[in-house]
Structure 1
């Protein structure tokens, strides 16, 4: 696209943002013009934004961001979406059908601006890629407010409380706090049910296999996946890895002798392919999980901070401790 066209798109997005979502630079005729409960100010990953009114033309980027908006009943405020890892949850499928898909993965900056958004909501930090032109600063210059999933920018440990933070922050931005509290209640109910079933259980020593053949790409201690394992009655053997994900050697896995292996299901390799690879790996032949063929499976979309996490905890708990759910 020619540079002039990009500039025109950016200008259009700025004008729409000024009339719709409202950011820190928006001029209004006074408090009387703002909807009830507005303006609101939200600080997200170091970016402070004041919303004069709820976004009216939101774009979601990454599945868990999309499903948070749909869980809060905000499909009518969405003009675009992108980048699914799995099928949308059945309960949101009808609402999702009415939203334009901008790209199978990430849209270009030009394609994003062409949707004329006033708000961009991302699940991963990589969404706002400076090299691709989609940085939060670039969006701000174009008049588009932005929000990044809080798992990507924690100042402390990633815990289940962050799901509530995420739901409440988005609820505040869109003026639907009551809907956010309804979803928070669902989260707590599901997790409390699992906790009750697992009372007094001995944690299962778990290794997470995401991918990799030369090394194993696994879940570390700084992501919601680690917390999910704890809530499901397990212990992540690589919780000492101070990041969400990281590479470890298969020899390290063997040394820690996991009792069960949790496979993240996504991508080109099927669960069957991953199991076959692990069962045949010479370094793992004496590992208890391999000897006993003890595997659990979670879709990747359930292991990132979003509305799928509580159900993911329940599913994992049932696989690690089936006797508690009979």
Structure 2
């Protein structure tokens, strides 16, 4: 009941990564020039407590954080991006050419001066830190400067966030840019990927999972409120800290030991390599009897795949293959 052809899995993954502009987005209600007309405007939306009315689609957008950047690239909107900043890892291969046409403002967050120097009419942030008031990038201040903004809804969710919330994020972003049909197509592709994984895992037994993001004296892990928890569930896992009512939290190693995870999922990002994290866990004598450590069962998920963006369905697919190799 776990079987699906490897070729089929590869095809689904490839289709998920194709930018919408490459999929013939023309012919729908929005044209292939990414909203050259302003049909359907003004458009008013409330995002993370900020109500904004868009009189026309943005023409000079700046994205801060990788998942915000990849959403616009997946919608084929690189021609209306004036700048981008802050990657956690490499842009996915399917978007590399489009990304290469966009000006990189800073390796991490740009200064206010650098941001304003790009002359944006819209700034789209992935994390709340993108709009740091102390750095002069707060949403209210940018609005006063005539710049509309949006924050990825995962960063202001009042409760658990899941892959289903990606529909809201993509729908609203596509609507802001006047390309709702592209948004629909992107959502359909994501859903196809999720359905494919669900079919091949049907009837399987979930494995218990501990997420290791970082930490030495304590473990920084994924709780039950963030997207990572839903990705694990859809990939045939059970997050041992799903009862923690936060997206991320510090937990003691004693609690990790007590919950006896079968698999450790390592989040890959930043300056500490996966190999270094793996070594830290394997060489800790206190963890030697944890099933995942004893049997050296590790899976890896890029951090940029564990946040609300267009990698979500592919992340479920990739993690499912690691947790249930028999289901490939």
TM score, norm. by length of structure 1: 0.88
Write the deviation string for residues 235-268 of structure 1: whole angstroms up to 9, x where unpaired.
Answer: 1111111111111111110010101000011111
- Structure 2 segments unaligned to the other structure (5+ residues): 1-36
What's 2:5 paired with? none
What's 2:261 paired with? 258
Q: In the alignment, is residue 44 of structure 1 matched against residue 47 of structure 2?
A: yes
Equivalent-residue separation in structure 2 for 1:270 and 1:114 (angstroms): 35
Equivalent-residue separation in structure 1 for 2:157 and 2:189 (angstroms): 23
What's 1:19 paired with? none
Give the C-alpha shift of residue 272 in structure 1.
1.1
Q: How does 1:13-28 map to 2 (within 5 A)?
A: none
Equivalent-residue separation in structure 1 for 2:272 and 2:117 (angstroms): 35
What's 1:212 paired with? 215
Pick from 81, 85, 90 the counterpart of residue 87 of structure 1: 90
Select between 267-276 and 181-190 the one with higher mean Cα deviation: 267-276
Q: How does 1:165-314 map to 2 (within 5 A)?
A: 165-314=168-317
Give the C-alpha shift of residue 297 in structure 1.
0.5
**Contact map agreement 1:58 1:121 (CA 8 A) in 2:** yes
Write the deviation string for residues 140-182 of structure 1: whole angstroms up to 9, x where unpaired.
Answer: 1111000000111113321211111111010000000000011
**Of the two, which has the highest radius of gyration?**
1
Equivalent-residue separation in structure 1 for 2:137 and 2:176 (angstroms): 21
What's 1:141 paired with? 144
**Contact map agreement 1:226 1:239 (CA 8 A) in 2:** yes
| Alignment RMSD | 0.9
**Contact map agreement 1:251 1:284 (CA 8 A) in 2:** no
Q: How does 1:35-184 map to 2 (within 5 A)?
A: 35-184=38-187
Equivalent-residue separation in structure 2 for 1:315 and 1:87 (angstroms): 17
How many pairs are equivalent? 292
Give the C-alpha shift of residue 130 in structure 1.
1.1
- SS in structure 1 opposite 2:133? coil
- SS in structure 2 opposite 1:131? helix
Pick from 300, 315, 318 the counterpart of residue 318 of structure 2: 315
TM score, norm. by length of structure 2: 0.88
Equivalent-residue separation in structure 1 for 2:113 and 2:225 (angstroms): 34
- Structure 1 segments unaligned to the other structure (5+ residues): 1-33
| Moved segments of 4+, more than 3 Å | none
Equivalent-residue separation in structure 2 for 1:176 and 1:101 (angstroms): 24
**Contact map agreement 1:209 1:218 (CA 8 A) in 2:** yes
